[in-house]
A and B are shown apart, each in its own frame.
Chain A
Amino acid sequence: MHKLNKELVVIGGGPAGLAAAKEAYEKGIKDVMVIERDMELGGILPQCIHNGFGVHHFKEELTGPEYAQRFIDDVAERDIEVKLNTMVLDVTKDKKVYAVNKEEGFSEIQAEAVILAMGCRERTAGAIGIPGTRPAGVITAGTAQRYTNIEGYVPGDEVVVLGSGDIGLIMARRMRLEGADVKAVCELLPYTGGLTRNVVQCLEDYDIPLMLNHTVTEIIGNGKLEAVEISEVDENLNPIPETAKIIKADTLLLSVGLIPENELSKKADVVLDDRTSGPIVNEGRETNIEGIFACGNVLHVHDLVDWVTQESEIAGDWAAKYIKGDYKRSGGEVEVKAGENVSYVIPQKIELESEDRNRIPLYMRVSTPLTAVDVNLYADGEKLYSFSEPFAKPGEMISVPLAQKTLDGLDDLKEIRVDIIEKEGN
């Protein structure tokens, strides 16, 4: 086993890992290693060949591979070590990283700081327990996307999509463009899980029916998928038997949620948040283990890669501060609480001291969709400030730039709370 030391090890060479590595390098950390399990950098972006990336970060519309390439180039231009086809099998809380690849074998890397950027995985048919059989042709939308855009194969001809997450919407259109008959996109909830622009550009523009309040109640077929039974659901999301109908299909694509992949984090004793399934972090995106940071979809599932980049720069910046010793805890801990109609807020706590900081961006999602909302911030129960938004839906993240100066005067602050509720007088 090779033993080596690194100032910073970044686990995952997707958009999160690349942006974090670049940022740490820019902040003076030159001994950085990015470890990627796939054969190329970019994470899931190389298979996202559609456009719509970078509108916020680069102020232009890029495809997934183009967005990834900018960061791949950034890393290549700097003296950052990249390990491809390399799997991390273990991380310890004292920041030893165990990795393996074909060329160099097994390595034990002692890092001063670690950034977790392993991304997320898709929820499967098994995990949601759809009744029926288990034939070929039932696959997650992301896997179908890999087959189509990377491997060059199309799973089938008659397609039903369950779930209206962004990958499901994108793949409905992608299959249509490959000549498949996309019969329906079913969504259990009364609203879509994906971005509004994807509903318009992927379904409406192609006349693909969106069936809200519908779910797949049975998978039919031995060997290969033959059909799915879909049913309308009542207000408690229970299927209404008399609405059941059979749709002939050889492919069922699932877009029923993404789960941050934190199996490695758990090995390092990183504590997870039940709501996000990602680590509990402070404003530096540092986990409960000092010097282990997390960013991107391993921390919480993002709607846009632009926010992943923003978040990863924060993690890279603070990892650099940690390594350089420019890192102080404030002594107190402010809990950031998800209040009314907020499903979670990142970071979950504020506990670091920083002289040059103007604001602490808070990222959150609402629990239920509303049009015309007030976003209210409270400091220990006292309203700090509030602003209005035209709408809020669970599929789209909301960013709240908490200004440092609003916090400065608040001694012994224990809690910041955010509520996102229907606009007053609406």
Chain B
Amino acid sequence: MSKKYDVIIIGAGISGCAVAWRIARYDLDILLLDKEADIATGTTKANTGIIHAGYNADPKKLKGRLNNKGNIQIKEIVKDLNIPFEEIGSLVVGVEGDDLSVLDDLLEKGRENGVEGLEIVDKEWLRENEPNIAENAVAALWAPTAGVITPWEFALAMAENAVENGAEVQLETKVEDILIEDDKVVGVKTNQGEYKADYVVNAAGVYADEISKMAGVEKVDITPRKGEYYIYDHAKDFELNHVVFPIPTPVSKGIVVAPTVEHNILIGPTSETADSKEDLSTSSEGLEEVYTGAKKLFPELDLRDTIRVFSGLRAADKTEDFVIEAAKNVKGFVNVAGIQSPGLSSAPAIADLTAEILEEEGLKLSEKDNIIEKREEPVRFYEMSNEERAEYVDQDKDYGQIICRCETVSYKEIVDAINGPVGARTVNAVKRRTRAGAGRCQGGFCGPKVVEILADELGLDPTEIKQEENNSKILDYKIKELLESKVSVNA
């Protein structure tokens, strides 16, 4: 058994990464574990990417208390960690026939949660500021503090900063048991061996209930709730200026039409109980519901230029609230569970609360000297002017080789993503870090090149390169291998 950690965090989604980032400023040995080959591969990679203002959640719940707080914190964090974020504001739009009193209720709730700048706007305001909105839109709740973020880069930036400050990240490590002695956590057992620790934070997303049960803590009960989406090419010619919601239902905020930071349009999500925690399938009914919902707000929006459909799972606890607390019966075990929307928006506030709980449980938090507060901004060729690109190419010729034509991603950016503090090991990990393959051809052209670069940099054969999960090899055989195997069987 190797060295002993102060804290092991299970799950490198947005919550686990936020906790790691938050406590890495203290003099602690931290290990962040994930069962997949990259961070942010669960709920964090498949959501609407919205930083909510905080008017939706019940003020009596943790969600209501943490959302607005997180929203305010994020605006500083995105500057320190250089995360793509745009504070474009959100609208909850009522159309003729809707119960408009809901808007007043949301306004009231928002004020109770401390959200600033909320106001009810009329038809004319909508027409002027969101020109493609439905003719029958009559009023909206305007929340200027809402924004959009690239969720996986949010998680990555925090994980990278945690690593810069001394935390360790270990991927492809699946926790199989929580090790407990005398009602106290002593470590975790994984498929890669055992790791000792005084504290274990369970941020395992849809699997948080299973991890909690391993510790004998029965408090968490997760039902995965699926959301399906369409995403459009950023080249689509359709003006959209805000995150636009319909009037919410009791269980869902409804089908949203939102721009991403990179100006793709995202429509979705549905809200349906998933068959299992592995069920990431989309359905024709679900996609139909998404499109119909989006058309209600934007009748002119068609499905031309959609480049992908996907779905994600919300880790919904039976309380429909975040479950962030220390276990009563097992000392040193802290649940950060049930983190569904507004979990992304609340992430820094969730991390703060987790740090407080760890301290209450006896973890000593003393700030290190020389904390690295900033993350260097990754080079993003796609958003540069030609003059800026020319300067980069002058400095390093590897920027001059464009690998992904749809999103203008250079060879250098891909190599840097593979060799970064939390380096990419899979084709999708490269996509999340650089956008190579995220465009209209969906990796049709750059895919073979990305596979080759990954193989070169990692010292692997292309047949070993994975798309995402452990069994997701892209190429099964070298040429003639398959044929020869069959010929010899038949011979």
Chain B 361-391 interface mask (CB, 8 Å, partner A; 1/0): 0000000000000000000000000110110
Whether the Cβ atoms of B230 and A129 lie closer than 8 Å is: yes
B447: interface (CB < 8 Å): yes
Partner of B482, one of A126, A133, A178, A220: A178
**Contact yes or no, A131 B284, CB < 8 A:** yes
Cβ of A136 and Cβ of B466 under 8 Å apart?
yes
CB B458 to nearest CB in A, in angstroms, measures 16
B contact residues around A124 at 8 Å (CB): 307-308, 441-442, 444
A102-B400, A156-B476, A250-B476 known; A122 and B467 CB under 8 Å?
no
> Which of A143-151, A336-344, A383-391 lies at the interface with chain B?
A143-151
Question: Which of A129, A142, A155, A157 has the most chain B CB atoms closer than 10 A to its own CB?
Answer: A129
Q: Is the CB of A178 within 8 A of B462?
A: no
**Is A248 on the interface with B (CB-CB < 8 A)?**
no
Q: Is A30's CB within 8 Å of the partner chain B?
A: no
Q: Does A126 lie within 8 Å of B442, measured CB to CB? A: yes
A362 contacts the other chain (Cβ, under 8 Å)? Answer: no
CB distance B390 to A1 under 8 Å? yes
B307 contacts A179, C-beta separation under 8 Å:
no
Q: Is the C-beta of A363 less than 8 angstroms from some C-beta in chain B?
A: no
* Chain B residue at minimal CB-CB distance from A219: B281
Chain A contacts for B310, CB-based, 8 A: 134
Q: Is B1 an interface residue (CB 8 A)?
A: no
Give every chain B residue within 8 A of A425 (Cβ-Cβ): none
Segment at the interface with A among B20-28, B77-85, B152-160, B483-491: B483-491
Inter-chain contact B452/A121, CB cutoff 8 Å:
no
B389 touches A151 (CB 8 A): no
Name the B residues within 8 Å of A179 (CB-CB). 482-487
Count of interface residues, chain A, beta-carbon cutoff 8 Å: 60
Give the residues from 253 to 278 in chain A that come closer than 8 angstroms, CB to CB, to chain B. Answer: 263, 266
The size of the chain B interface, using a CB distance under 8 A, is: 65
In the complex formed, the residue of A with least CB distance to B282 is: A131
Interface residue B460 (Cβ < 8 Å from any Cβ of A)? no
Check B445–A121 contact: CB distance below 8 A: yes
Judge whether A135 is part of the interface by a CB distance below 8 angstroms.
yes
Confirm or deny: B440 has a beta carbon within 8 angstroms of a beta carbon on chain A.
yes
Give 7 nearest A-B pairs by CB, closest first.
Answer: A126-B308, A179-B483, A106-B390, A223-B469, A223-B471, A87-B402, A136-B467
Q: Please, which residue of chain B has its CB at the minimum distance from the CB of A259?
A: B440
Q: Which chain A residue has the least Cβ–Cβ distance from B467? A: A136
Complex CA–CA separation, A263 to B439 (angstroms): 12
Q: Mark A118-133, 1 if CB is under 8 A from B, else 0.
A: 0001101111011111
Asked whether any CB of chain A lies closer than 8 Å to the CB of B251, the reply is no
Shortest distance from the beta carbon of A38 to any chain B beta carbon, whole Å: 9
- Chain B residues with CB under 8 Å of A224's CB are 471-473
User: Given A87-B402, A222-B469, does the pair A127, B306 have CB atoms closer than 8 Å?
Assistant: yes
Question: Which of chain B's residues has its CB closest to A87's CB?
Answer: B402
Q: Pick 18 A–B contacts, CB within 8 A, sort by A.
A: A102-B398, A105-B393, A122-B441, A126-B307, A127-B308, A130-B309, A131-B282, A132-B281, A133-B282, A139-B444, A139-B474, A147-B448, A153-B478, A155-B474, A179-B483, A179-B486, A222-B280, A263-B406
A220 to B284, alpha carbons, bound, how many Å?
14
Q: Which residues of B sit under 8 angstroms from A150, Cβ to Cβ?
A: 448
Cβ of B283 within 8 Å of any chain A Cβ, yes or no, is yes
Task: Kindly report which residue of chain B lies nearest to residue A254, judged by CB atoms.
Answer: B444
Contacts of B73 in A (CB 8 A): none
- Please indicate which of the listed interface residues B303, B398, B442, B463 has the most CB atoms of chain A within 10 Å of its own CB: B442
Residue A330 at the chain B interface, CB threshold 8 Å: no
Q: Is the CB of B472 within 8 A of A136?
A: yes
Q: Which residues of A contact B442 (CB under 8 A)?
A: 124-127
The proximity string for B residues 258-297 relative to A, scoring 1 for CB distances below 8 Å and 0 otherwise, is 0000000000000000000010111110110000000000
